[in-house]
Structure 1
Amino acid sequence: MDFEEKIPEAVHDLRYLLDRGYRKKGALKFVSDRYLLNIHERNYLARKVFSREVSLLRRKKIIDISRVKDETVFVDGYNVLITVESICTGYPSLVSCDDGFLRDVNAVFGKYRINDTTKTALTQIILLLKCYKPYFVKFLYDSPVSQSGELSKLTRNILKANNVSGDAVTSKNVDSELVTLSEDTGGIVATSDSAVIDKIQRVVDIPCEILRKVR
């Protein structure tokens, strides 16, 4: 059974189990083992499939990009950047997920390195936000990831070059800080990280907005 045959069946089975209250970790392993999925296929399943209840709750939190006007936007740096880089390279590893978010399934986060597409992707992110006139934009990068300091500096330079009020910093726990910043300021978070989305009230899907413009 090839990818095109087994993945739809695996998606159906996992969604069925999640809708009946099974924990995702166990259900994902059960379904993946049943269909003999490789690591890429398991990543695809993990990022794409959610219960109908979870998907509905998350979709209600997605706001239109136009609503960032005069707002502070906190950007989950690696999360958004890696997905936009995939768009810049022809989006072979992107998937539209049950909960309404666009995600990359390559799982390169911990191994990320600045590359030839980084500056282009960051510029697209910043120019998109600039179009909708946010009050302030703050990028957060995970400090344990190599080159996070250099990436923060590059981001600050691009913000300045495009006259966008903002900053870029590193953090030991980006997920936790995004949630705290959102709660303390009422700002909007740009991410597709499930753990963050479930704890905040308003989220914008920047890669999805960029993909709409390039298609």
Structure 2
Amino acid sequence: MNNRNRGKNTGDDGLFGSQKQVDKLKMAAQDMRYLLSRDYPEKASSELVGNRYRLKTRQIQALRGAAASAQQIGNRKLKQAEVSELKDKVVYLDGFNVLILLESLLSGAYIFEGADGCFRDLSGVHGTYKRVNQTQRVIELAALFFQKAEIRKLVWIFDQPVSNSGRIKQMVLDYAEENQLNWEAELAYNPDKFLAESSEIAVSSDAWILDHCQQWFNLIEYLITEEKLDVHLIKMV
């Protein structure tokens, strides 16, 4: 096991750790929602709001991740599945989206809750995925969810172009075999499109997927509540 994790960046406590900064971010998020709801472009809106509140780059990144228009928020809420609706269903899981977000959460990084009720982080896959100390625990949490929700089959979808996607796919399949879980794992060249066009329930907090899929489930919210996860949470609403 290596010593990697996805914890806070140097300086994150200064950007997100005080009530003053959180209040500033909340006001910025309100302004951002106002602009997006009136069809202002996201990039221009975030630059305008960022300048108004003198936000730093990572604060703007958090703001963009959590921002959505009133129409998007309403649409996402309508399509959100309850855990009771997952019983005996096939569920598709956005592999890297869920893995990295939960790895960040378990590492003590700041997690941001948007007006759509979804949780997002400031990490990402930049062409290569590297497993961290928390990766195994994330897979175990997915297994707890799978069993408690009585899901018929869970299918993990990973980005084929990302380096090491084959390795993490195999890690998931090995764990499923050892624990007799009805899981599959697939590599897709465009997992966002794949998940959005699927008729199955999608597990993701990716904004584009949430806007285009038929139905989705908020796994992070479920796990925080059900497994009583300790989280450095910033509510952007």
Secondary structure of 1:74's aligned partner: strand
Q: 1:11 aligns with which of 29, 47, 50?
A: 29
TM-score, scaled to structure 1: 0.89
Contact 1:127 1:162 (C-alpha < 8 Å) held by counterparts? no
Query: For structure 2, which runs of at least 5 residues remain unmatched after alignment?
Result: 1-14, 230-237
Alignment match, 1:210? 223
Write out the 4+ residue segments of structure 1 that deviate beyond 3 Å after TM superposition.
none
Aligned match of 2:102: 84
Percent identical residues: 26
Aligned: 1:109 with 2:125? yes
Q: 37, 47, 50: which one pairs with 2:68?
A: 50
CA offset at residue 25 of structure 1? Answer: 2.1
State whether structure 2 residue 182 is matched by structure 1 residue 165: yes
Identify the residue that residue 198 of structure 1 maps to in structure 2.
Answer: 211
Tell me, in whole angstroms, the C-alpha distance in 2 between the residues paired with 1:159 and 1:68.
19
Return the offset for 1:5: 5.0
Task: Specify which structure has the bigger relative contact order, considering alpha-carbon pairs within 8 angstroms and separated by 6 or more residues.
Answer: 2
Counterpart amino acid of 2:73? Answer: S
**C-alpha displacement of 1:84:** 1.6
Query: Tell me, which stretches of 5 or more residues in structure 1 are unaligned?
Result: none
Task: Using structure 2 for the length normalisation, give the TM-score.
Answer: 0.81
- The answer to whether the 8 Å contact 1:66/1:132 transfers is yes
Across the two proteins, how many residue pairs are aligned to each other? 209
1:38 aligns with 2:51: no
Aligned residue in 1 for 2:150: 133
After superposition, the CA RMSD in angstroms is 1.8
The secondary structure found in structure 2 opposite 1:169 is strand
Q: 1:118-145 CA distances to partner (integer Å, 9 max, x unpaired)? A: 0111111122112222221110111222
How far residue 97 of structure 1 moved from its aligned partner, in angstroms, is: 0.9
